[in-house]
């Protein structure tokens, strides 16, 4: 990954960063960039969804500056020890997937809410932590029909997963007001990129379709294909996390901001771009099959990123089409 922008941000600092969910898709990319920029990273993961190959990759970058701890974020003793040594916390650990949360809501709550609450309760007693950056989700906008999605205009959540992310934002507000912690939540809009897992019932749409088309298998669209999303390439998300951690515009309070591209794409359009990136000429002959809409899915999602721009100077650098071609080339 091109880390020139991140190197500019990090060239004057050398810190220890705690990255939770470090074996996961987003967490491993954040840790990779931090290590490539000379930072020290303490990584935590329990491998509930993370991959050992991501840890191997990070170890290959720097065995001196990367320290991995296989543990759960609800392990109070282990997390306390790590927090006491770090300056920044980048919290990515969670059980993702709306369908997973609908099937087993208690697991999503235990990981996403209890884990985050445990982390904040530890951080409040450690003044060495300059800021906590955590992963929220565009799913918090729920049934709001307003487009683009704007902070402060949330609807009613439509899934247990969305509820966990909204509860985390409420806890972040409460802890910031009670203890003066600097906390910022990033509402991710459909993140994709290299190393995203294409397998299993809860796999995200882009890696699943890339894998299916490459194997000459039929890909599935849930609904009529006119469901739309704001797809955000992984390098934009990495940059946003580092910007959020280091921004001098933020006070010791709680914020939550959208991280997307302000780019609207239907699933039908997405399928065509993926097919073209893999097959090239003749890709229009590849057709998906259509199945019923899934419970909890939002019909349309598009990020208003004006607050992200003003607070942390966030600007997406890689948009959908380029990101798809980068992802396919790396797979």
Active site (catalytic) residues:
161
Is residue 303 within 8 A of residue 261, CB to CB? The reply is yes
Characterize 3-27 residue by residue with b for buried, 16 or more Cβ atoms within 10 angstroms of its Cβ, and e for exposed. Answer: bebbeebbeeeebbbbbbbbbbbbb
Calpha distance 165→169 (Å, rounded): 6
Is residue 262 within 8 A of residue 148, CB to CB? The reply is yes
The number of C-alpha atoms within 13 Å of 255 and in the hemisphere containing its C-beta is 21
Is residue 154 within 8 A of residue 205, CB to CB? The reply is no
Is residue 29 within 8 A of residue 237, CB to CB? The reply is yes
Is residue 187 within 8 A of residue 197, CB to CB? The reply is no
Nearest to 74 by CA among 53, 51, 96, 91: 91
Distances (CA, A) of 328 to 33, 189, 199, 278, 280: 20, 20, 16, 7, 12
């Amino acid at each position: 990954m091109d880390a020139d922008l991140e190197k500019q941000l990090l060239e004057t600092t050398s810190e220890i960063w705690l990255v939770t969910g470090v074996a996961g898709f987003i967490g491993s990319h954040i840790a990779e960039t931090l290590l490539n920029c000379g930072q020290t990273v303490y990584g935590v993961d329990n491998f509930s969804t993370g991959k050992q190959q991501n840890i191997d990759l990070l170890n290959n970058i720097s065995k001196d500056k990367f320290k991995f701890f296989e543990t759960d974020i609800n392990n109070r003793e282990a997390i306390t020890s790590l927090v006491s040594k770090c300056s920044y916390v980048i919290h990515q650990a969670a059980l993702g997937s709306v369908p997973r949360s609908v099937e087993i809501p208690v697991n999503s709550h235990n990981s996403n809410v209890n884990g985050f609450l445990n982390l904040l309760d530890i951080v409040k007693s450690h003044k060495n932590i300059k800021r906590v950056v955590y992963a929220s989700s565009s799913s918090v906008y729920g049934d709001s029909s307003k487009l683009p999605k704007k902070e402060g205009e949330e609807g009613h959540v439509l899934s247990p997963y969305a509820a966990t992310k909204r509860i985390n934002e409420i806890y972040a507000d409460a802890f910031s007001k009670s203890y003066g912690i600097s906390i910022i939540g990033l509402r991710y809009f459909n993140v994709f990129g290299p190393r995203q897992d294409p397998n299993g019932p809860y796999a995200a749409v882009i890696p699943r379709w890339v894998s299916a088309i490459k194997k000459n298998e039929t890909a599935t669209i849930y609904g009529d294909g006119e469901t739309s999303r704001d797809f955000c390439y992984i390098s934009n998300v990495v940059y946003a996390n580092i910007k959020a951690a280091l921004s001098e515009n933020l006070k010791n309070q709680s914020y939550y901001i959208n991280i997307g591209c302000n780019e609207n794409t239907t699933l039908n359009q997405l399928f065509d771009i993926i097919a073209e990136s893999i097959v090239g000429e003749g890709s229009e002959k590849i057709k998906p099959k259509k199945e019923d809409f899934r419970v909890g899915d939002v019909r349309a999602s598009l990020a208003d990123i004006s607050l992200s721009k003003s607070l942390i100077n966030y600007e997406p650098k890689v948009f959908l089409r380029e990101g798809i071609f980068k992802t396919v080339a790396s797979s």
